[in-house]
Amino acid sequence: MQNTTEKTTSNYPMFKTITQMAEISGIGREALRRMINQNEIDYVLIGNRRLLTEKAIWDWYERNKQQASKPEGQRTIKITPRRIG
C-alpha cells in the first residue's frame, strides 16, 4: 500500500512550477530561480511563469555532479556480518 503523504511526481503535471519542483527535488526555490537566471537549467516561459521539467533537473545534475572517489592510500575494508546466537 502506498503512503498517501509521500510526494510522487505523478501527482504533478509534466511542466512544474518552481515551487512544485522545489518540493519534488529538495532544491530550494531561490536556488532554482538563481539557476534559471544564470542559464544553468532549461525552462519554459509561459506568460510570466517559468516552468521546469524533471529532465531539466537531471540534465543539470549530470553536468554538475562530483564523482565520488577514495582518498589516495585508503584501502577498502570488507565487512562481514556475524551471526548472533
State the CATH number of the domain containing residue 23. 3.90.105
Residue 25, pLDDT above cutoff 60: yes
Q: What is the pTM assigned to this prediction?
A: 0.65
Reported confidence tier of residue 29, pLDDT bands at 50, 70, 90: very high
User: Cβ contacts of residue 70 below 8 Å, gap of 6+?
Assistant: 76
Total domain count, the chain: 1
Q: What is the pLDDT of residue 80?
A: 72
Residue 50 domain boundaries: 14-64
Which has the higher per-residue pLDDT, 85 or 64? 64
Q: Greatest CA span in the chain, whole angstroms?
A: 67
Residue 44 — φ and ψ, nearest 5°?
A: -115, 135
Residues 12, 39, 60, 30, CA torsion sign: negative
Residue 2, pLDDT above cutoff 70: no
